Amino acid sequence: MVPPRRGSTAPAEARALERARDVPNARTATDVEALKRAFADHLQYSQGADEHSATALDRYFAVAYSVRDRMMRRWIQTQQAYYREDAKRVYYLSLEFLMGRALENNLLNLGLYDPMRGALKDLGLDLADLLSQEPDAGLGNGGLGRLAACFLDSLATLGYPATGYGIRYEFGIFDQEIRNGYQVERPEEWLRFGNAWEIPRPESVVPVAFYGRTEHGVDERGRLRVRWADARHVLGMPYDVPVAGYRNDTVNTLRLWRARASQELDLADFNAGDYLAAVEDKGFSENISKVLYPNDLTVMGKELRLQQQYFFVCCSIHDIVLRYLRTHEDFSRFPDKVAIQLNDTHPAVAIAELMRVLVDERALEWDAAWEICRATFGYTNHTLMPEALERWSVDLFGRVLPRHLEIVYEINRRFLEGVRAASRADEGALARMSIIEEQPVKQVRMANLAVVGSRSVNGVAALHTELLKRELFKDFHALWPERFNNKTNGVTPRRWLLQSNPDLSAAITDAIGPGWITDAEKLRALEPLADDAGFRRLFRRIKRDNKARLAEIVRAENGLTLDLDSIFDVQVKRIHEYKRQLLNVLRVAAEYLRIKEDRSYQPYPRAYLFGGKAAPGYALAKWVIKLVGSVADVVNHDVDVQGRITVGFLKNYRVSLAERIFPAADVSEQISTAGKEASGTGNMKFALNGALTIGTLDGANVEIRDEVGAENFFLFGLTVEQVQALRGRGYDPWEVYRGDRRLKGVLDALASGVFSPGEPALFRPVVDSLLNGGDPYLVLADFAAYCACQEEVERAYRDPEGWTRMAILNVARTGKFSSDRTIRDYAEQIWKIAPVRRG
């Protein structure tokens, strides 16, 4: 959207548009009758259907278009207000945006949910049936992408001028099927029937260059100039998605880029009969935005990932600069009007790209360009594991992005020379801080580039930030302590309580009013109700109803029947060794063996529910999924344990399924190895919905425990310091194995085929990874403590009044973990932006 025109040459058009904005009409009115007319209009004129031919999908689109209409005026007026105030804007660059479904969220945020439900009811339709027609927009893999989506919601709700930038993947995170217990990836065809929420902007395509070579020369003033020559070009086409704030008329933008060929068809090749060559450019270009996170175990996969990252960064930087120059004649105020936040290392090449634009295209001197760059960027780190910090081989980086490699080398040279000249670090520290890693393979360290090129570096939980300063980036912290800060993650209460748990939301609003929806700290007013027997009864009834809703989904999608009176013990998240789904399933298997051995043992009935996706190339994570399925097969078919243990792997974990899981859970499994999880946000969503956490002192668990109270949190396991001490004195998994009869029994059962009777050796690699692979995530070391803590969980659950009191206090004390608080901290302390109210 462009700024309002000065001295418009079409005053009649302007007056007509103004009248249209001021008078409610078929596209803006929000009463029930107007919504009925809008629905019928779109059903006929947008979908080409009537009441006889319309499908459920037609009706969904008619509702979605009716809602989108009512966003459009707000959207345009929001952007005009930003231009009118010449407001400083934040641009959030993220390779992932795990948005989920949009219709229900937009209805709630616009205040249209009840009117639309009433309109459809008058027409004999059920809104809930139409909501289920929308596919999840799965443009993310897990917490990183869902955090970005929560941030967009909070930015709009708080009225901050903001734009999100990402990739419009044709196929997002894969659909997960489970065949014979194994994960099978299927393409997620979320765009198969179109996307009601996006607005294509083909007139705003951006050319993106790859490969080629650089030519160096001097201009008429004797200054060095570099030209990127013989490059291969693709086009980035933007698709804009409106993001509505909660009942404040603000609508921000998520701009997603789709890759297109600069030449869709080479007609000469086609006419010559070389049909493959004729569409070669089309295939090369469209692959870039085809799939989220292509498997990078191959050289080609690595190259495609680098292409993806530069593609969306190049398009976004071009767009940001162009928008700035519409209202400014030079770059002197660029950092005063632009803040760019890098969501992890994926977009870190944006630093080199902005330097290229400023120096090569806009002819700024290097030093001036670098000052602008450093004053503009902020970097959020999301991982403590060095192997997860992106590195690109110099050969690959230089071949794909030849000019950017030169820029990176120059940034690095000046940085190292400046630090060395000031005698502020020794040679060892310089080697660790260098953007170029020299040994064993020469690589570009993207995290180091992000730190060097940003004015702010933040972690996402208090513990995580301390470990960044103390370990991962200790040399940078010693050099620039003022750059480092913490911004503990948060989740939007609009989606994760108001939308996903409507009965509990209504009960909370009846008790304390609606203010908590935009100020989650007001949930504290629930604390006295933890001692109110009537509210506790209501809370338990709502929890049971939510468990029933989830049980219906589990039965339909997984063929598993759940006992609503059992403890719903849930671990849903990306499958990874450090998240220790393996620890959980080992204990479940041990519990099964204990019941088989001791017929007098009567544990409280429990349903152990797992969910999450493993990266396609992550073999051990896939083995964990298979192990969960195999344990489930044995346990669920054994009459000796029926009614006491049920195990399920919920396939194809996604946002819309998460919206049913969090409200139904009794126990939240947050059991990562201490010092490995940056923050976590699932832990916050569970607590917000009244699940009690069993967890380690890792990530945001530390702060959740501080907020809800140690007595309302089940803590176990080694601390970060104990982990380091154990490794320091030499950790021997075999010693733990020999010293714990229960642990030995379950590992022996795995190795001997108790849980894989048709393939006795199936899980020996899993056992071998623990005993002979060093148990890198200390699963065995924490096993005994975890089992003991689970016994505490069971004792607490046997007291329903006490458990409910703890659950209510978890809800009441998780207001800190609203993404609204997180965004205010970013806005005030890093971005230096202010809300803009429409006027």
- The catalytic residues are 382, 573-574, 579, 681, 685
**CA-wise closest residue to 585 among 447, 746, 781, 407:** 746
- Measured CA to CA, the distance from residue 299 to residue 798 in angstroms comes to 55
**CA-wise closest residue to 408 among 346, 456, 339, 350:** 350
What does the CA dihedral 674, 680, 685, 686 come to, rounded to 10 degrees? Answer: -20
Provide the pairing of β-strand 667-670 with 567-572.
parallel
Distance of CA 583 to the CA centre of its chain: 24
- Measured CA to CA, the distance from residue 131 to residue 110 in angstroms comes to 16
Residue 820 near residue 522, CB atoms below 8 Å:
no
Query: Could you write out the three-class secondary structure of 265-284?
Result: CCHHHHHCCCHHHHCHHHHH
DSSP 8-state symbol, 455: S
- Measured CA to CA, the distance from residue 118 to residue 70 in angstroms comes to 17
Residue 707 near residue 717, CB atoms below 8 Å:
no
- Measured CA to CA, the distance from residue 357 to residue 360 in angstroms comes to 6
Residue 787 near residue 514, CB atoms below 8 Å:
no
Residue 422's contacts (CB-CB under 8 Å, 6 or more residues apart) are none
Q: What's the CA angle centered on 415, arms 411 and 420, to 5 degrees?
A: 150
Neighbour order of strands in the sheet with 443-445: 391-393, 443-445, 436-437
Residue 137 near residue 172, CB atoms below 8 Å:
yes
DSSP 8-state symbol, 491: B
In angstroms, what CA-CA distances link 819 with 150, 358, 491, 837?
A: 6, 34, 5, 20
H or E element in which residue 692 lies: strand 692-695
Preceding amide of 24 cis, omega within 30: no
Burial 340-375 (b: 16+ CB within 10 A, else e): bbbbbbbbbbbbbbbbbbbbbeeebebeebbebbee
Query: HSE of 482 in the Cβ direction (CA atoms, 13 Å)?
Result: 1
Residue 168 near residue 312, CB atoms below 8 Å:
no
Helix segments in 272-356, DSSP class H: 275-278, 280-287, 299-325, 334-337, 349-356
Residue 315 near residue 208, CB atoms below 8 Å:
yes
What does the CA dihedral 557, 558, 561, 562 come to, rounded to 10 degrees? Answer: -90
